[in-house]
């Protein structure tokens, strides 16, 4: 039985191909991983959160980015596309193309059945190596449920979670509040 090994790609080869590609892919440890399209529910949740963050951060130095801005986790070499990124400092980019951010402060991921384990596990593990990264919000799209992680002074992470539409999530790093009723506005869970 014969098998073909996947070729190892350098990050430079990945970026060159990714900048020309029709579809987004993540890169980690020499391999490229195609990203699947998002469901309408996923897209609407991202839109709801971006709208709320943009409204609350309008008169601050913070910037909200969604879905198409690549992030490089420099300590581990992961290149990925978070659903939502907020930065409050000057954006830092990996190179002169200014298309790969390296200093996210807040990252929001909307979970799907196919990505939930990765977003909660290995991806979060990679994100935690970034000094700028202070807060992580995981939003379930199949039910009303939010997991909120906040970096503590001792470099530990504090988890809080909620599933009640009348509650809000206080985002400490960017001084915002997200009401679950707004996050899930017009989301049909049936």
User: What is the model's pTM?
Assistant: 0.94
Average pLDDT score over residue span 30-42: 91
Rounded Cα–Cα distance for residues 178 and 106 (Å): 13
Phi and psi angles of residue 42, each rounded to the nearest 5 degrees, phi first: -60, -50
Nearest one of 71, 92, 88 to 80, comparing CA atoms: 71
Assess contact for 184 and 145: CB atoms under 8 A: no
Domain limits of the chain? 38-183
Handedness of CA 40, 133, 13, 31 (dihedral sign): negative
In the prediction, which pLDDT does 3 show? Answer: 56
DSSP for the chain, written as a single string: ----PPPP--HHHHHHHHHH-SS-EEEETTEEEEPPPPPHHHHHHHHHHHHHHHHHHTTSS-EEEESS-EEEETTTTEEE--SEEEE-S---BSSTT--EE---SEEEEEE-TTTHHHHHTHHHHHHTT-TT--EEEEEESSSS-EEEEEE-TTS-EEEEEE--TT-EEEEGGGTEEEEHHHHTTT----
Q: What superfamily in CATH does domain 38-183 come from?
A: tt1808, chain A (3.90.1570.10)
Average pLDDT score over residue span 63-87: 96
Neighbours of 38 (CB within 10 A): 17
Give the pLDDT confidence of 79-93 residue by residue, as tens digits.
999 999 999 989 999
pLDDT at 43 over 80: yes
Rounded Cα–Cα distance for residues 105 and 173 (Å): 7
Among the residue ranges 37-41, 85-89, 120-124, the one predicted with the least confidence is 37-41
Q: What is the mean pLDDT of the chain?
A: 94
In the prediction, which pLDDT does 6 show? Answer: 64
In the prediction, which pLDDT does 160 show? Answer: 98
């Amino acid at each position: 039985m014969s098998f073909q090994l996947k070729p190892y790609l350098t990050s430079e080869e990945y970026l060159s191909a990714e900048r020309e590609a029709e579809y987004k892919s993540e890169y980690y440890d020499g391999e490229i991983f195609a990203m699947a399209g998002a469901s309408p529910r996923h897209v609407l949740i991202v839109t709801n959160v971006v709208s709320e963050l943009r409204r609350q951060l309008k008169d601050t130095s913070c910037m909200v980015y969604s879905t198409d801005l690549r992030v490089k986790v420099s300590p581990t070499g992961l290149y990925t596309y978070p659903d939502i990124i907020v930065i409050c400092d000057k954006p830092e980019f990996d190179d002169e193309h200014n298309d790969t951010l390296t200093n996210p402060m807040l990252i929001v991921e909307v979970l799907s059945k196919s990505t939930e384990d990765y977003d909660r596990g290995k991806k979060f593990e990679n994100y935690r190596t970034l000094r700028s990264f202070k807060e992580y919000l995981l939003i379930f799209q199949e039910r009303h449920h939010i997991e909120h992680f906040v970096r503590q002074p001792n470099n530990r992470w504090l988890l809080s979670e909620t599933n009640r539409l009348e509650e809000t999530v206080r985002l400490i790093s960017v001084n915002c509040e997200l009401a679950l009723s707004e996050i899930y506005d017009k989301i049909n869970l049936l």
